[in-house]
Each structure stands twice: as structure tokens, then as C-alpha cells.
Amino acid sequence: MMRDAVFLPLTMEAAGSCGSGLHTKAEAANRAAADCWTAMVGDCDTTDRRTLILTLHDLSEATVISGRAAIGGMVQYRRVAEAEALIDEAVREGDGEEFAEALVGYDLAVATVLSRLRSQSA
């Protein structure tokens, strides 16, 4: 049995204990990142490449709204937004290395907010 690739491992782990809405958005973002990566590797201009940023933005927005209320997350909001912008740029340029690096930064930024949110509610 083949496992699906996990492109946002920290986020997926942190979202597992959050509300179902955040977990669902994290799963959608992870799937979208995998689909986008496949399209980039194949040098295909698909909907997956063009819609990744929208799916990530949905997760970012939900994360930051939840986090802002719990932890005053303006610094984290900036980190999430900056990482999101780097991913968008990498996808538009078709730069796989930049995409991977930006995705790691995004994963860390979102997971940090979610982890803080979880610790605040514990």
C-alpha cells in the first residue's frame, strides 16, 4: 500500500489536535501542494499549479484568525504571509528548489501558530 506524500508534515501534525475546520483546511493544503509539485515536476501548466496559492491562503487565513485571537499573532501572521508569497513566486517561476524551501518555511510558520493555539487551549 502506497502512502500519500506529506508536504506539510508539521502543519498536519499540529492541525490534528485543532478544530476540524483547521484540520480539513490543512489536509486540503497538503493535497494541493502534492498536486502542484507533481505538475511542476512534469513541467505542466495545470489548474493544480494555479490554485495552490488559493488553498494555502484559505489555511493561512483560518490559522491566523484563530491564532490572532489566542496569541496576538501579528509576527506569525507576517511569517505565514511571507512564506505564502514565496511559494506563489516559486510556482509562477516553476522553480522546484525555491518551491521546496518556501514550503518548508510555510509549514513551520503555520505549525507554530497552530502549536501555540493548542498550548493556549490546553
pLDDT in 10s for each residue of the chain, 122 residues: 445 779 999 999 999 877 768 889 999 999 999 999 999 999 888 888 889 999 999 999 888 777 665 555 577 778 889 999 999 999 999 999 999 999 999 999 999 888 887 776 65
> By three-state DSSP, how is residue 3 classified?
coil
**103: in domain:** yes
**2: in domain:** no
The pLDDT value given to residue 10: 95
**1: in domain:** no
Tally of domains within the chain: 1
**116: in domain:** yes
The C-alpha cell of 40 is what? 511542476
The pLDDT value given to residue 120: 66
**82: in domain:** yes
**64: in domain:** yes
**5: in domain:** no
Q: For residue 101, what are the domain limits?
A: 10-121
**3: in domain:** no
The CA angle 75-60-91, to the nearest 5 degrees, is 105
Work out the number of other CB atoms within 10 angstroms of the CB of residue 96. Answer: 14
The pLDDT value given to residue 12: 93
The pLDDT value given to residue 122: 54
Name, in order, each residue with C-beta under 8 angstroms of 81's C-beta and a sequence gap of 6 or more: 60
